[in-house]
């Protein structure tokens, strides 16, 4: 855990922003795979962990906004738990490390909420993303499960987003420690991406790194020669010289912060001429994104600048035609880049998106686009010092999308479909790093992970 004072300060800051009612925070419970005692690796709810730090299942907390009282509700391990799972520290001792000295049995939570409701007090909570949490909130509030989401507190969401989106030095250090592990994972995977190997061999090398560090994946890894399938979680493919592998994977830190790194690897160790040309353009677009990121700039405009660079290069290759601005503004470019430039990252890999993407990535002045491609940009609002974001442009040749658009003659004056079709088979490529927004600009976080053509080829030759 962080120092006690940090958790206390976070709860105080919440009280400053939201002055009446109480905040109900539910931690996660174990998630069964197929029966109660065979569970997924435990991952604590990020909101609970941010304010209370304790990383074990079955907890809840109430932050009373009108008094100084914070209470954690939970139960100590039973003798049975100790027999099967071993000894765990007392809940009181763990809560004390987060500066919370009021700990009650979980069963007391229902009464506490009941009491507050009878007194006409507002019970704020963030929208749940797991069924178990939804049902528990419904039980506590005495409402139907389907009404829980609409009763989530907009004021609480805004207050928590304002706190969590500005990362303090301790959090930056955690993200950088997750990035160290991610760097190890990616280097190991680069060496494993050899002709004849399977995709799962690369994943196995990365899991070995994670296990050695005693941490979890920040999200399910993508390791695929079919980079044109954006979230391809299949690892059965066998690698052949000339394939491009997209490796999008990251670790959590000891305290649960995420990393999210993508590298594109040429199987056989060398990019061919066409791959190199496209990949170099992609790296330049990422650099445009990194250099264009600074406080006050909308991330939607950073996305546009990176896209503009991609389109300039792909116009020279003959894929796009006509004015670059038209290709960008019309959304024609999205035939090759159908997702956004990035998202915030913190305790969640897509930080706070469980509160609603628009509540985190957009604001009253920045509306989300409805255009295909741009509508997938999860973060459009102005950047602030202390934010952490990913910068992750990609170039993809998705046959189904190209053929659909070609059949519809969509953007036919801006896309040369005959030339674009020649690239089907290249697959996809993406590059992704984390940046911290500084006073004057942005800083790529962590120890650099091989990324340029020569750096990647050097590691793969190793
Ligand atoms: N790894 C998920 C993402 O890049 O957004
Ligand atoms: Mn990402
Ligand atoms: Mn990623």
Question: The domain spanning residue 139 has which CATH number?
Answer: 3.40.350.10
Helices 169-192/453-461 angle, 10° precision: 60
Mean pLDDT over 166-180 rounds to: 98
Domain count along the chain: 2
Whether residues 192 and 327 fall in one domain: yes
Task: Show which of 164, 187, 211 is a domain's final residue.
Answer: 164
Whether residues 98 and 209 fall in one domain: no
pLDDT at position 462: 81
Whether residues 145 and 183 fall in one domain: no
Whether residues 294 and 421 fall in one domain: yes
Whether residues 116 and 229 fall in one domain: no
Whether residues 399 and 432 fall in one domain: yes
Tens-place pLDDT, residues 125-165: 999 999 999 999 999 999 999 999 999 999 999 999 999 99
Whether residues 411 and 364 fall in one domain: yes
Mean pLDDT over 69-75 rounds to: 97
Tens-place pLDDT, residues 417-437: 999 999 999 999 999 999 999
Q: Is the pLDDT of residue 30 over 90?
A: yes
Tens-place pLDDT, residues 238-258: 999 999 999 999 999 999 999
Query: With pLDDT > 90 as the criterion, what percentage of the chain qualifies?
Result: 99
Task: Show which of 164, 192, 207 is a domain's final residue.
Answer: 164
Residue 447 to residue 53: CA distance in whole angstroms: 27
Q: Is the pLDDT of residue 460 over 90?
A: yes
Give burial (CB, 10 Å; 0-12/13-18/19+) of 16.
Answer: exposed
Q: Point out the least confidently predicted range of 65-69, 72-76, 291-295.
A: 65-69
CA of 248 to the centre of ligand 1 (A): 7
pLDDT at position 317: 98
pLDDT at position 413: 98
Residue nearest to atom 4 of ligand 1 (CA): 260
Of 235, 226, 242, 198, the closest CA to residue 399 belongs to 226
433 lines ligand 1 (CB under 6 A): no
219 lines ligand 1 (CB under 6 A): yes
Q: Which atom of ligand 1 is nearest to the CA of 250?
A: 1
Whether residues 204 and 136 fall in one domain: no
Residue 274 to residue 126: CA distance in whole angstroms: 48
The residue range of the domain holding 75 is 4-164
Whether residues 92 and 227 fall in one domain: no
Q: Which atom of ligand 1 is nearest to the CA of 219?
A: 1
Tens-place pLDDT, residues 270-290: 999 999 999 999 999 999 999
Q: Is the pLDDT of residue 295 over 90?
A: yes
Whether residues 247 and 290 fall in one domain: yes
| Average pLDDT along the chain | 97
| 371 pLDDT tier (thresholds 50, 70, 90) | very high
Q: Which atom of ligand 1 is nearest to the CA of 350?
A: 5
260 lines ligand 1 (CB under 6 A): yes
Whether residues 121 and 209 fall in one domain: no
Tens-place pLDDT, residues 379-400: 999 999 999 999 999 999 999 9
Give the CATH number for residue 322. 3.90.230.10
Whether residues 327 and 253 fall in one domain: yes
Mean pLDDT over 320-334 rounds to: 98
**Which CB contacts under 8 angstroms, 24+ apart, belong to 454-461?**
456/190, 456/263, 456/264, 456/265, 456/266, 456/271, 457/266, 457/269, 457/270, 457/271, 459/187, 459/190, 459/191, 460/190, 460/191, 460/193, 460/265, 460/266, 460/269, 461/269
Residue of 390, 393, 430, 435 with the most ligand 1 atoms within 8 Å of its CB, for mutation: 390
Mean pLDDT over 213-218 rounds to: 98
171 lines ligand 1 (CB under 6 A): no
Neighbours of 279 (CB within 10 A): 21
Mean pLDDT over 95-123 rounds to: 98
Q: Which atom of ligand 1 is nearest to the CA of 342?
A: 5
pLDDT at position 406: 98
348 lines ligand 1 (CB under 6 A): no
Of 115, 87, 144, the closest CA to residue 24 belongs to 115
Q: Is the pLDDT of residue 65 over 90?
A: yes
CA of 391 to the centre of ligand 2 (A): 7
Residue nearest to atom 3 of ligand 1 (CA): 260
| 52 pLDDT tier (thresholds 50, 70, 90) | very high
């Amino acid at each position: 855990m962080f120092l006690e004072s940090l958790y206390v300060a976070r709860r105080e800051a919440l009280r400053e922003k939201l002055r009446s009612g109480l905040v109900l925070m539910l931690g996660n419970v174990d998630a069964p795979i197929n029966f109660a005692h065979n569970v997924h690796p435990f991952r604590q709810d990020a909101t609970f962990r941010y304010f209370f730090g304790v990383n074990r299942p079955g907890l809840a907390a109430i932050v009373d906004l009108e008094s100084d009282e914070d209470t954690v509700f939970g139960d100590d391990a039973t003798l049975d738990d100790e027999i099967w799972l071993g000894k765990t520290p007392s809940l009181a001792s763990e809560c004390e490390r987060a500066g919370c000295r009021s700990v009650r049995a979980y069963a007391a939570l229902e009464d506490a909420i009941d009491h507050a409701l009878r007194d006409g007090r507002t019970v704020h909570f963030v929208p749940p993303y797991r069924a178990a949490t939804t049902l528990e909130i419904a039980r506590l509030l005495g409402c139907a499960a389907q009404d829980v989401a609409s009763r989530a507190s907009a004021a609480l969401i805004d207050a928590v987003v304002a706190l969590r989106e500005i990362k303090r030095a301790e959090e930056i250090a955690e993200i950088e420690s997750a990035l160290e592990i991610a760097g190890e994972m990616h280097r190991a995977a680069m060496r494993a991406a050899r002709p004849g190997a399977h995709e799962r061999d690369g994943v196995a090398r990365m899991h070995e790194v994670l296990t050695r560090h005693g941490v979890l994946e920040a999200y399910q890894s993508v390791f695929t020669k079919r980079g044109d399938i954006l979230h391809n979680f299949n690892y059965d493919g066998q690698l052949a010289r000339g394939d491009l592998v997209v490796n999008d994977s990251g670790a959590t830190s000891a305290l649960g912060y995420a990393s999210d790194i993508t590298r594109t690897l040429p199987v056989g160790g060398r990019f061919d001429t066409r791959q190199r040309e496209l990949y170099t353009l992609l790296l330049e677009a990422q650099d445009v994104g990194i250099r264009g990121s600074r406080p006050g700039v909308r991330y939607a405009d950073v996305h546009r600048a990176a896209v503009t660079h991609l389109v300039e290069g792909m116009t020279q290759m003959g894929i796009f035609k006509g004015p670059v601005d038209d290709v960008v503004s019309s959304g024609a470019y999205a035939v090759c880049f159908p997702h956004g430039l990035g998202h915030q990252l913190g305790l969640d890999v897509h930080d706070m998106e469980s509160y609603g993407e628009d509540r985190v990535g957009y604001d009253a002045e920045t509306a989300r686009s409805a255009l295909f491609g741009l509508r997938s940009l999860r973060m459009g609002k102005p950047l602030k010092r202390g934010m952490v974001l990913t910068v992750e442009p990609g170039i993809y040749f998705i046959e189904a999308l190209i053929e659909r658009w070609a059949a519809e003659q969509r953007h036919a004056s801006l896309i040369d479909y005959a030339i674009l079709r020649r690239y089907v088979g290249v697959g996809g490529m993406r590059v992704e790093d984390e940046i911290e927004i500084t006073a004057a600009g942005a800083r790529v976080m962590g120890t650099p992970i091989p990324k340029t053509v020569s750096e990647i080829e050097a590691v793969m030759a190793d």
